[in-house]
Amino acid sequence: MLDQTKTDKLGELKSVLAQALGNDAVSDDPAARELFSQDIWTKGELAEFIVAPNNLEALSAAAAAANERGIAFNPRGGGMSYTKGYTPDREGVAILDLSKMNRILDLNVDDMYVTVEAGCTWADLHEALSAKGVRTPFWGPLSGLSSTIGGGLSQNNAFFGAGKYGTTGDSVLSVTVVLADGTIVRTGSAGTTGAKPFWRHYGPDLTGLFCGDCGVLGYKAEITLRLIKAPREETWASYEFDNAGDYADAMSALMREDIATEIFGFDPNLTRVRMARASMLSDAKALKNVMKKQGNLLSALKEGAKVAMAGRGFMADAKYNLHYTVEGHSKAGVKEEIAILNAICEAHGGKSIENSIPKIIRANPFGPLNSILGPSGERWVPIHGLVPVSETRDCLAKIDAAFDAMRKEFDDHGIVTGYLLTSMSTTGVIIEPVFLWPEELFEIHRQTVEPGMLSKVGTHDANPAATAVVAKGRQVVLDAFRQHGAAHFQIGRTYPYLETREDATRALLEKVKDIVDPQRIINPGALGLE
């Protein structure tokens, strides 16, 4: 229960913000407060209100007003966290909604950078850049339809381009950050008065300080990313493997070549789940986009026919499957490079299968986020770890053994497990176990999944016993990751961070937090920082 002083300060802050930013920038609507206080995995404490600034100056003013009254803000981007990344873990917290700061501020193809506001989605940026024949090296997660670039920088993330170019943070040149007291800080070359944000490494790498910080060191306002020419050619391949060991070893060998821009794969269980869900392979729009990418009518018809004929049949007998994309500026170049990767898969016992999955994902990069539910309306939640390439096989074996030990509990509660592998440059593999189980939906699920999909899948009653088993399974996975020295993205309040740092590192982090946020009111509790 909040004391009267805190309650009074919250009310005063709401009034001040409404007056300064406009009434439409502040909401205490109960439904909105509930929605913004939950993520894919859990519900936090109910947010006191939501403030949505629409530009840098408004964000600075909001931060200063909150700091003056000692009120905590938890910044929220697209809302796709599954680690309590922004959900309040205490009373008296307001949500800072950055979705209205969604503009592309400067698209500079001469100097090859683009500056966006933090609330710009990856999908919107990709569309704008495609029209200019350019893109960012890393160009967004699969959830890019709603995921924001500010959220991506705070959490770091994987997918498009990650196999060659790493995470969001690896493509960032500069960031404009609002500190707790409203101070505006610009990093890299942008920290020079009047200079362009074209270069990151000008003195100490202050840009890196705000990459992967889960939004605890400052409120991201504007982000500048490097541009590259969009590749003229791309090709894909898919292979299946009989066992997890060969699958993991093939993944590791592929990564060391530093050729593929994405490498990813599914175990048999997750493959079956994906195929049972309303399939992307039967989606007319997906097929249309595959055909559009071919460049000429004959190629379009050939690729469209291949995808349509393949359907789901080629995945009916699900095994461990790997998919990858190679891109470049000449057909000969990509053909030569993918041949190298194909030979590696075959040397590890892989069998070539229809490449519809990577082809369709590339042609439809930011589709609707229906995959946050299972094929019968089950809840879905992942947990992940980034392990060294050489640790992939052993870590997978440990997770498989842990799941086997829990199999009866899973079966008793209708819990299905599987996992995804994703490459991160040449040094790390993301292992992402997922859980699907019968449980009632949150409002965030109902707001995110397409209405047509919601109407097709079933609903479930509250099932706390099953959810408790899922929580136990997530912890078992975290224990396995810790044994293999795993790193994590989207740390939030789920992955152990501060308590696992060496003493000197921990002390330095605490001192940095004291400087940028002395009252500890920016996303308190995330990263373990209070």
Q: What is the pLDDT of residues 96-150, one digit of tens each?
A: 999 999 999 999 999 999 999 999 999 999 999 999 999 999 999 999 999 999 9
Mean pLDDT, rounded, for 381-390: 96
- Please, what's the largest Cα pairwise distance for the chain? 72
d(CA 512, CA 70): 19
d(CA 305, CA 80): 35
CATH of 372-489, one of 3.30.300.330, 3.30.830.10, 3.90.1150.10, 2.40.110.20: 3.30.300.330
Percent of the chain at pLDDT above 90? Answer: 86
Compute the radius of gyration of the chain from its Cα atoms: 23
Quickly list H helices, 320-449. 331-347, 356-363, 392-405, 407-412, 443-448
Name the amino acid, one letter, at 526: A
Query: Does residue 291 carry a pLDDT above 80?
Result: no
d(CA 320, CA 336): 25
Query: Does residue 242 carry a pLDDT above 60?
Result: yes
d(CA 157, CA 492): 13
Residue with tokens 């913004």: 36
Task: Tokens for 75, please give them.
Answer: 């910044």
Q: Do 372-489 and 4-99 fall under one CATH topology?
A: no
Query: Does residue 298 carry a pLDDT above 90?
Result: no
Task: Look at the domain 233-365 and name its fold.
Answer: Alpha-Beta Plaits (3.30.70)
Model confidence at 400, pLDDT cuts 50, 70, 90, reads very high
May I ask the CATH class of domain 104-229? alpha beta
Q: List the chain domain ranges.
A: 4-99, 104-229, 233-365, 372-489
d(CA 266, CA 319): 8
Going by DSSP bridges, is the β-strand pair 351-353/233-241 parallel, antiparallel, or unpaired? antiparallel
Query: Does residue 317 carry a pLDDT above 90?
Result: no
Strand, helix or coil for residue 260: coil
Q: Give me the residues paired with residue 437 across strands.
A: 379
pLDDT of residue 305: 46
Query: Does residue 204 carry a pLDDT above 80?
Result: yes
State whether the Cα torsion 493-86-44-372 is positive or negative.
Answer: negative
SS (HEC) of 78-131:
CCCCCCCCCCCCCCCEEEEECCCCCCEEEEECCCCEEEEECCCEHHHHHHHHHC
Query: Does residue 280 carry a pLDDT above 50?
Result: no
Mean pLDDT of the chain: 92
CB neighbourhood size of 232 (10 A): 14
Mean pLDDT, rounded, for 491-511: 96
d(CA 188, CA 201): 6
Mean pLDDT, rounded, for 59-74: 98
Per-residue pLDDT of 175-199, as tens digits, reads: 999 999 999 999 999 999 999 999 9
CATH number of the 4-99 domain: 3.30.43.10
d(CA 153, CA 223): 9
